[in-house]
Amino acid sequence: MSIKSLIIIQARRGSTRLPDKILMPLAGEPLIYRMYERVKESKSNSEIVIATTTNSEDDIVCELCLKKSIKYFRGHPTDLLDRHYNAAIESDADIIAKIPSDCPLIDPEIINKVFGYYFENRNKFDYVSNLHPATYPDGNDVEIFTFEALKNAYENATKNFEREHTTPYFWENRKKFRIGNYEWETGLDYSKSFRFTIDYPEDYDFIKRVYDELYRKETFFGVNDIINLIKQKPEIYDINKKYLGEYWYKNHLGELKNI
């Protein structure tokens, strides 16, 4: 029996910290489309859907998807668990991967590795991520779970936090679900040393600069390329480093290991 996997990219315009961030331009296209390209480059053989909201402000997201021939789903504006569950039902998915739209620098190879780890251990885990604990730079979030586990969470999660973020019910109930984690094979932990996600204007400035430096139509740059760029041009790191708090590099960029 074939197994159908689905990657859901959750996206909406109404970000409270940085409204319309998903439509900000990167190399001539909206950020959400550039992120979709990177997810599509993964070799997971998954269907990809952009799951947006039923709010009228997100009509433009659907219009973009239609223009780019991307599948989309419209669901609950704030209950992401509901949105993921119903998107999975519509696609008749057995395995679901959750990737938030604030990860426009996500490395396709990391997606491949987390999927590979899941399928190598499919009979051992209901939920696998690279987040518990996280080791990759922030902004490479991949969470994979079975439809059965998603249905369980959908029917039983009651806390606002569990509904708004889809997956907390899994890792808050470790006796109920079999939890697996994929860690960076380098043995490094850069999860709090780099910020490749987007919540603030400075994050966009950082991501745009990375795209300006590394984007090429014929190739996809990865996490190692970004880190090497920062080593060569540490002023790029400075753009959004204030959101890293105690993990600022200050003067030790030169201590970064070659990876």
pLDDT tens by residue, 162-180: 999 999 999 999 999 999 9
Using an 8 Å Cβ cutoff, are 46 and 88 in contact?
A: no
The pLDDT assigned to 246 comes to 44
Which domains, and CATH codes, for the chain?
5-181 (3.90.550.10), 201-255 (no CATH)
> At 257, is the secondary structure helix, strand, or coil?
coil
Residue 137 is classified by DSSP as P
The per-residue pLDDT of the chain, averaged, comes to: 93
Q: Name the band, by pLDDT with cuts 50, 70 and 90, for residue 254.
A: very low
HEC assignment per residue over 111-178: HHHHHHHHHHCCCCCCEEECECCECCCECCCCEEEEHHHHHHHHHHCCCHHHHHCCCHHHHCCCCCCC
| Residue 257 reports pLDDT greater than 50 | no
Extract the tokens encoding 11: 């996206």
Rounded-to-integer distance, Cα 104 and Cα 26, Å: 9
